[in-house]
A and B are shown apart, each in its own frame.
Chain A
Amino acid sequence: MTIEWYESVGTREWLKRTVSFLNISVMILSVMLIFSEYRFGWGEQVLGRFLAAINQTRPEKGAVWELGRDTLTAHETVSQLIDRKSDTKAFAHRADSFSGIVQHLLPGEWVTLDKSHFKDLYRTLPLTHARQILEPARLIWLLNGDVTDRIFCEGLKNGIKIYFINTGNRVIHQIELTQDTLTAITEKKYLKPGTLETFDEFSGRIYPVNRFFDAVFKLPAEMIPDLLPDTDLLLDQEGVISRVGIWNEAEDGFIRLGFEFRHQTGIRVLFVNAREWTVWQLGLILKGAHS
């Protein structure tokens, strides 16, 4: 007999329906699911494994990743500082002149120079200019006198500063080399085209070569090296010296002498720095000879 859905059913029918296989199965399954999940936590594990499976596709964000990034950035910054120093150091060690160092040392940067390397760089300078930068006697004391532990070279806005440092990190001597000074040396600004008359500062102090050297040889022999400290520079020039001029002002204890060279390529003046007091002595002789 078919019972329509709108018809009322009896108790027996209700009981039959309640304990039907489907009902009982659904209930048992539901209860089992709930209790097994409570007992074994398989839901969490399934979720956890799913998340672990897609872990690599997810973004690196959150406090711990930010800290990691900060750490990485910090290390990169430190590495960059170190690399920059290493590069500067490598370049400085390869440099064959002070100008080379100046070009690659930014203001505030510094590099350590070996004593022997400094000596080599110093020797690249014409003696007359080298003397102005650092007296050879002082150099010997600094490099061979067991006083210098390290030589620091610091970049400036327009040049470099070189510090001679003892074992106590104390500066025992320092020199400053400006770009202008070094350019003057490297571009051979001590050699200028033209005659002595080109320079007003020689006016009234220009002497024929023979008169000049006659006067030189009247000086005490020990005085001559101070008058002509860099003979190599003069000997290396091509041409003949025709006249010599004396500059009209002193600078840092030196007075410039101008040697006028005549050569088929032209006339030029070579500047040499001579000790002020020897030039003064020479001047007396020249004036005496003249009178």
Chain B
Amino acid sequence: MKGILSIWRAARLVFFTGLMLVCAGIFLVTLLILYTASDLPRLPEDLSRIIETPQSLVYNASGQVVLRLGERESVPLNRVSPDFINAIVATEDHRFFQHHGINKLRTAKALYVTLFEPGRVEGASTITQQLAKNLFFSFEQSFSRKFRELLVSFQIEVTHSKAEILEVYINQIHFGAGAQGIEKAADTFFGKSARDLTLSEAALLAGLPKSPSAYNPFRHMDRALKRRQLVLQRMKDTGYISEDQAALAASDIPEFNREKKDARSGSYFLDALVKSLIDVYGENVVYNGGIRVYATLDPRLQDLAKLSLRQGLDQLDQEMGISGEKPSRPQGALVAIEPATGAVRAMVGGRDYFESEFNRATHARRQAGSGFKPFVYYAAFEKGGLHPGTLMTDQSVTIPVTGAPDWQPRNFERRFQGNMVLKTALTRSVNTIAAQLVQLTGPDAVIDTARRCGINSPMQDVFSIALGTADVTPLEMTAAFSVFANSGIRHDPFLFWRVEDAFGRVLFEHIVQDQPVLDPAIAYQVVDMMKAVVDTGSGQRVRDHGFTRSCAGKTGTSNNFMDAWFTGFTPTLCTSVWVGFDRRDPLQDKNGAGITGGRGAAPIWARFMQQALADEPERNFPVPRDIRFEKIDPDTGCPMDSRDSRPGIIVAVKRGQVLCGETVR
């Protein structure tokens, strides 16, 4: 009996002590709440409104929206697939519709685990708590933050209905791959609206918020599917779906949006555009200012550019014996500019944006090789008074360099071909003659010509510049060759025509300003020579690929085949293609032969231009008034009688220039 009495006594002691402790605890918590409450963040009147920030829109040349910046599109619950709503509730907080902001049992359990099982942390956040955290708090893990988050969730619960809370929640959670909100996630991963999600897709998306990177289906498909299995199981356990439905959904392999891979722009062009906008207006205006930007991007040309480059690089992989899995594959870039305005119509900065965002079109400075020779020839014509019919000798050349060993340039073929006119020299890309020309004019004249054409990269005042030792970007090369295509008139490349605010008021408008930087007649002489490069010289691959239009261009191959270029143009479109390894390894085929610009880049150029200009009428380059065409003997440079049946070459000469002692009239 005494024992029972002792137990009773003890129990009573425990109960009252506990009661006192609880009372003291409540008192302390009340004090803590009063202390904390004044510093809690204020809740906006309407939670749903905060999601809607005005997005900045980028339109392409066809008027389609191609990029939404700072986008936070909110969709009402009735425009979201019920399967997704069920899936997210079942997974994240199955008692969401019953509790008032906290799931007490789960919280108690999580608290116990966190406090008494070292190394283990268990979460018990309800949807409301997660919402409070996402809207107002950092992701710092502390009891203080948790407590504050809990208090805010209580307020959210009493001031908003469950439907409102759920709507805001699903519109702001992160699904990974840059997708925030269910509408964006549905578009990013499946290319559809949230209302059209199937059970299988909805379950997959509902599993992502727990760890968006770890379950990113683009990268870890297996993990994402395992996680989906768990979501389906939770849906079944909570009665949202039957076992059959769960099994059916689990067997489905969702079809992903192959265009996207994630919510990044997915486009080198758009990245360059956003960067230039940020340079002008600042990041805040670009992402939050709701501006409208009208880009120069031609969607058809951009698609063709991507396709041509990818196909060309795949072809190159085959020639080089590189398998798809090899980590280091050659990269490439393609830029297309409208010479008449400078508008960039297409830009691809690599073989796959989602593999490497580095924009080689704008940032990769690579040796231009012989692609630089048109500037050398122009400088020689302008400063040295030479012309395409001037006779020179392909021979061993030694150029003394102050403070360094003499420079002895060699030809690609390692042999000398004797006398030839300059048109032939450029067509055959003869290095010794280019070296003689730069010796005549000085490297500064070549640099000056390149600068006038828009090459802004640093260039060294050295003789070897004649052979393209300067590092340039594909964008610069395209812009500079556009000057030749445009009769010596320069237009700086640009990416957008107009910027407006959300109400259509103009903030910026690009006007096309002609800058005559080259003599039109001399520019034409160089163009005429570059036409021969394509027709009979190192760029003949362009013709081999069926491109028959009037065009001009120049191949370029840098030392040890590290870079292969082809830059060429028609009167309406100028395009530069570069291929090479990021790590500057040599481009060599299976047999160890080096890959030149004519072999590596020209086919990509031809494939692109062929399709890009398919719907356009063929045009010829306008011939300046003081240009005359003369048939000359390629070995002597002397005019030939039109009745002379010997093969000669046609050169473009200016009125007043002298051919073999005879002045052209």
Q: Is this pair of chains taken from one and the same complex?
A: yes
Interface residues on B, range: 35 or more
- Asked if residues A51 and B155 are in contact (CB atoms below 8 Å), the reply is yes
- Asked if residues B284 and A77 are in contact (CB atoms below 8 Å), the reply is yes
Interface residues of A in 1-46 (CB under 8 A from B): 11, 14, 18, 23, 26-27, 30, 38, 41, 44-45
Stretch from B41-49, B219-227, B348-356, B422-430 that touches the partner: B41-49
A63 contacts partner chain B, Cβ-Cβ < 8 Å:
yes
Of the candidates B54, B99, B154, B501, the one whose C-beta lies within 8 Å of that of A47 is: B154
Contacts known (A45-B100, A49-B158); A64 close to B511, Cβ less than 8 A: no
B375 contacts partner chain A, Cβ-Cβ < 8 Å:
no
Q: Per-residue 0/1 for A68-89: is the Cβ within 8 Å of any B Cβ (1 yes, 0 no)?
A: 1011011101110110010000
A59 contacts partner chain B, Cβ-Cβ < 8 Å:
yes
A165 contacts partner chain B, Cβ-Cβ < 8 Å:
yes
- Asked if residues A59 and B154 are in contact (CB atoms below 8 Å), the reply is no
Distance of A154 from chain B, by nearest CB (Å): 9
- Asked if residues A51 and B501 are in contact (CB atoms below 8 Å), the reply is no
Distance of B488 from chain A, by nearest CB (Å): 16
Contacts known (A59-B39, A74-B285, A78-B285); A169 close to B8, Cβ less than 8 A: no
B614 contacts partner chain A, Cβ-Cβ < 8 Å:
no
Residue in chain A with minimal CB distance to B505: A82
- Asked if residues B154 and A74 are in contact (CB atoms below 8 Å), the reply is no
- Asked if residues A45 and B158 are in contact (CB atoms below 8 Å), the reply is yes
Interface residues on A, range: 35 or more
Of the candidates A26, A44, A52, A63, the one whose C-beta lies within 8 Å of that of B134 is: A63
Contacts known (A18-B8, A75-B290, A82-B501); A68 close to B41, Cβ less than 8 A: no
Q: How far is the CA of A174 from the CA of B88 in the complex (A)?
A: 63
Contact partners of A11 in chain B: CB under 8 A:
1, 4-5
Q: Per-residue 0/1 for B474-508: is the Cβ within 8 Å of any A Cβ (1 yes, 0 no)?
A: 00000000000000000000000100011001110
Residue in chain A with minimal CB distance to B11: A18
Contact partners of B1 in chain A: CB under 8 A:
11
Q: Per-residue 0/1 for B63-98: is the Cβ within 8 Å of any A Cβ (1 yes, 0 no)?
A: 000000000000000000000000000000000000
Contacts known (A50-B37, A61-B41, A77-B282); A82 close to B511, Cβ less than 8 A: no
A217 contacts partner chain B, Cβ-Cβ < 8 Å:
no
Contact partners of A165 in chain B: CB under 8 A:
511
- Asked if residues B53 and A55 are in contact (CB atoms below 8 Å), the reply is no
Distance of B300 from chain A, by nearest CB (Å): 20
Of the candidates B40, B138, B514, the one whose C-beta lies within 8 Å of that of A171 is: B514
Distance of A2 from chain B, by nearest CB (Å): 21
- Asked if residues A58 and B282 are in contact (CB atoms below 8 Å), the reply is no
Of the candidates B19, B50, B101, the one whose C-beta lies within 8 Å of that of A48 is: B101
Q: Name A's interface SS.
A: helix
A137 contacts partner chain B, Cβ-Cβ < 8 Å:
no
Contacts known (A41-B99, A45-B100, A71-B54); A51 close to B151, Cβ less than 8 A: yes
Q: How far is the CA of A57 from the CA of B138 in the complex (A)?
A: 22
Distance of A223 from chain B, by nearest CB (Å): 30
B291 contacts partner chain A, Cβ-Cβ < 8 Å:
yes
Contacts known (A14-B9, A60-B42, A78-B285); A68 close to B19, Cβ less than 8 A: no
Contact partners of A45 in chain B: CB under 8 A:
100, 154, 157-158
- Asked if residues B136 and A62 are in contact (CB atoms below 8 Å), the reply is yes
A54 contacts partner chain B, Cβ-Cβ < 8 Å:
yes
Q: How far is the CA of A77 from the CA of B283 in the complex (A)?
A: 12
Q: How far is the CA of A124 from the CA of B186 in the complex (A)?
A: 63
Interface residues of B in 28-43 (CB under 8 A from A): 33, 37-43
Q: Per-residue 0/1 for B339-382: is the Cβ within 8 Å of any A Cβ (1 yes, 0 no)?
A: 00100000000000000000000000000000000000000000
Contacts known (A14-B8, A63-B134); A169 close to B154, Cβ less than 8 A: no
Of the candidates B40, B41, B159, the one whose C-beta lies within 8 Å of that of A65 is: B41
Distance of A225 from chain B, by nearest CB (Å): 32
Of the candidates A18, A63, A70, A85, the one whose C-beta lies within 8 Å of that of B288 is: A70
Interface residues of B in 100-128 (CB under 8 A from A): 100-102, 104
Contacts known (A18-B8, A75-B290, A171-B512); A48 close to B157, Cβ less than 8 A: yes
B510 contacts partner chain A, Cβ-Cβ < 8 Å:
yes
Distance of B79 from chain A, by nearest CB (Å): 22
A277 contacts partner chain B, Cβ-Cβ < 8 Å:
no
Of the candidates B15, B136, B157, the one whose C-beta lies within 8 Å of that of A44 is: B157
Residue in chain A with minimal CB distance to B40: A58
B513 contacts partner chain A, Cβ-Cβ < 8 Å:
yes
Distance of B13 from chain A, by nearest CB (Å): 12
A212 contacts partner chain B, Cβ-Cβ < 8 Å:
no
- Asked if residues B501 and A58 are in contact (CB atoms below 8 Å), the reply is no
Contact partners of A48 in chain B: CB under 8 A:
100-101, 154-159
- Asked if residues A52 and B155 are in contact (CB atoms below 8 Å), the reply is yes
Residue in chain A with minimal CB distance to B102: A44
Contact partners of B510 in chain A: CB under 8 A:
169
Contact partners of B38 in chain A: CB under 8 A:
54, 57-58
B621 contacts partner chain A, Cβ-Cβ < 8 Å:
no
Residue in chain A with minimal CB distance to B497: A169
- Asked if residues A74 and B511 are in contact (CB atoms below 8 Å), the reply is no
Contact partners of A85 in chain B: CB under 8 A:
505-507
Q: Per-residue 0/1 for B557-571: is the Cβ within 8 Å of any A Cβ (1 yes, 0 no)?
A: 000000000000000
B137 contacts partner chain A, Cβ-Cβ < 8 Å:
yes
Q: How far is the CA of A82 from the CA of B5 in the complex (A)?
A: 87
If A45-B154, A51-B37 are given as contacts, then 5 extra A-B residue pairs at C-beta distance below 8 Å, sorted by A number, are A30-B22, A38-B104, A64-B44, A65-B42, A169-B497
A-B contact pairs, 24 of them (CB 8 A): A14-B9, A18-B8, A41-B99, A45-B100, A50-B33, A51-B155, A54-B37, A58-B39, A61-B136, A62-B135, A65-B41, A74-B287, A74-B288, A75-B54, A75-B289, A78-B290, A78-B507, A82-B507, A85-B506, A169-B510, A169-B511, A169-B512, A170-B514, A171-B514
